[in-house]
Amino acid sequence: MLFAHIADTHLGYRQYNLDEREEDFYRSFREAVDRIIDEGCRFVVHSGDLFDEPRPHVKALVVVREELERLREEGIKFYCIAGNHDLLMRSGAVPPHRLYPEMEFLTPKKPARVHGDVLIAGLPYFSKLHSRVLLERLAELEKLAERHRRSVLLLHQGIDRYLGVGYELRMNELPAGFSYYALGHVHKPLLDSYAGGIVAYPGSTEVWRGDEIEVYEKMGKGFYLADTEAKEPEEVEWVKLRSVRRFVKLRVSSEEELEALPEPGDGKPVVRLELQCRTESFQRLYSEVMRRLADRVLYVDVRRLSQEEERRASPAKGLDVYELLGSYLRERSEAERSFAAELLRLLEDGRTEDAVKVAEEFFSRRWGGGR
């Protein structure tokens, strides 16, 4: 039975506060639905962050309604869990997925469905601070999977093998017994094996952050197609979306290099531009680059890279702030390192309200409610 695995669509995201970038995320999602229908999939699993925020724009809500209706008309079920961007981190909060009765929305209270003879189980995002509860729920689902020959598990978690210090779950903490582990949260496509099953992150369907560009240039953005009878990662098919806007990463240190600036092609790209020059040369080089790019690109995300920054930077790997944080806090407890990583991720996403809630909960547990 063929199914599609998609994640991290982040619908409603207005990157650079541009209408065009918001529309890009909708267009990628619509194309994914087109391809899912064309491939004859029997069901879809979405592994979290359907929306970019827990109070989505009205247009994002409408787009999901339209695409769910298209899938329903083709008899294709849509199974989904909430990611960290879909959730308000407070008691009693209702995720936007509740608006869609046609969506098979998996929750801690109702974490499983059966599609034909395939168990489909899933849990929403759990922060590292709630790892004990997550592990208890996963143990329950492992017992449930023992009663089914084929099964799919949906999770929106970072795993230590793939995410480093910012992880919420260790690889060996995944429950055994599932045929396919449909994961979300990591924005690059990954395929692996675990306990006789296939582990998969399809990544995001659009370039959500600049640090995704390198992998995007190699693989593009898309989703996975798999058969419920598949047993090896090599049997999973990568579907590359054609409508994703191009991102181009450039480093320019002189006017002579400006001849390499990108042509617009079929659509105006977004350019991540690093100007490697002395302070006194920056304005002249910046003005010339912008003059040349003005009608050729949608947006230029520019920064000055000093000679000293270039000397310090690794040629093979960029600075990983989570790795740096983990190194700095290596003498602290695991709970403190996890709290710091969670707080950093929320603040990076601009989710100040959720960051305050996480901090209050952490210090309440640690010091009995004192501030």
The catalytic residue positions are 85
- Rounded to whole angstroms, the Cα distance separating 289 from 34 reads 38
- Rounded to whole angstroms, the Cα distance separating 88 from 86 reads 7
Beta-bridged to residue 275, according to DSSP, are 252, 304
- Using CA atoms, how far residue 132 sits from 127, 150, 294, in Å, is 10, 27, 52
- Rounded to whole angstroms, the Cα distance separating 285 from 289 reads 6
Residue identified by tokens 């990591």 is 186
Q: What are phi and psi of 185, to 5 degrees?
A: 115, -40
Spatial CB neighbours of 126, under 8 Å, sequence gap ≥ 6: 133, 134, 157, 168
- Rounded to whole angstroms, the Cα distance separating 313 from 240 reads 32
Name the residue among 153, 181, 186, 141 with its Cα closest to residue 168.
186
Beta-bridged to residue 192, according to DSSP, are 199
Q: Are 84 and 43 spatial neighbours (Cβ–Cβ below 8 Å)?
A: no
Burial of 83 (0-12, 13-18, 19+ CB in 10 A): buried
Beta-bridged to residue 78, according to DSSP, are 44
- Rounded to whole angstroms, the Cα distance separating 175 from 339 reads 24
Distance of CA 304 to the CA centre of its chain: 28
